[in-house]
Structure 1
Amino acid sequence: MGNQNKIQRSVENLQEKHQSYVINLDDIVKQWVWSKWNKTKSKSLSHF
């Protein structure tokens, strides 16, 4: 029974790490998209 608890705990730890990784990735993608969008916006405004 004790062994099963260890496995359960390690699975929960993996899920937490995975979740934080996904959240970080989401933030990185958002920042990248915003920076790209801001660059194109400023380029298109400079044409006028």
Structure 2
Amino acid sequence: MGKANRGKGTLEMPNRGRGTCPICETEGIKLLYDNNTSKVDAKVCKRCRNK
């Protein structure tokens, strides 16, 4: 059975949490994770969260 509230938090974000990742420059990907390793505080994609 599906979850009723899955993804509810991203609906309130601009462009539903999607954009261009500043590290890998992939377009149209969800930017949900804070990047603590680089000097720029920005949201990054799932693939780049540990880089």
Band of TM-score, shorter chain: under 0.3
Structure that is richer in helix per residue: 1
| Larger Rg over CA atoms | 1
Structure that is richer in strand per residue: 2
Instruction: Calculate the TM-score normalised by the size of structure 2.
Output: 0.18
